[in-house]
Structure 1
Amino acid sequence: MRLQDIELTGTNRLELDIMEIPSSCVIVICYGKAKVGELPPFGEYKITTHQGKIKRMRREEGEEF
């Protein structure tokens, strides 16, 4: 699942219904934008920043052998 935008209210408030988002997820907020992404069962998210802004979020999945 790719990251999905989260809509902010008219007053730039973030309101989430925890019943509508994945049970295991990551929420990222940067410069007035918010995104949510489901965490993989095995793997990691890598967040790359540049000058205080998020440039990229990379999802890497794997499993121990």
Structure 2
Amino acid sequence: MGCREAGNLVSVGISAVATDALGDIVYVDLPEVGAAVTAGETCGEVESTKSVSDLYSPVTARSRK
């Protein structure tokens, strides 16, 4: 996962390489709004037609949306 800072907000996402490797994404499980996430810890998972993969937070923060 990568991140982009804009003021006091950080946008998080997966790379194009990861998206290509996963294939068609069918389900994403993310933290609830307001939930705390810790850098390096799992914060969700993504399910694709090829596999289910854990998502690891690149930052310590609270989920906003």
Which has the larger helix fraction?
2
Q: Tell me the TM-score normalised to structure 1 length.
A: 0.30
Q: Tell me the TM-score normalised to structure 2 length.
A: 0.30
Q: Which protein has greater RCO, CA pairs closer than 8 Å, 6+ apart?
A: 2
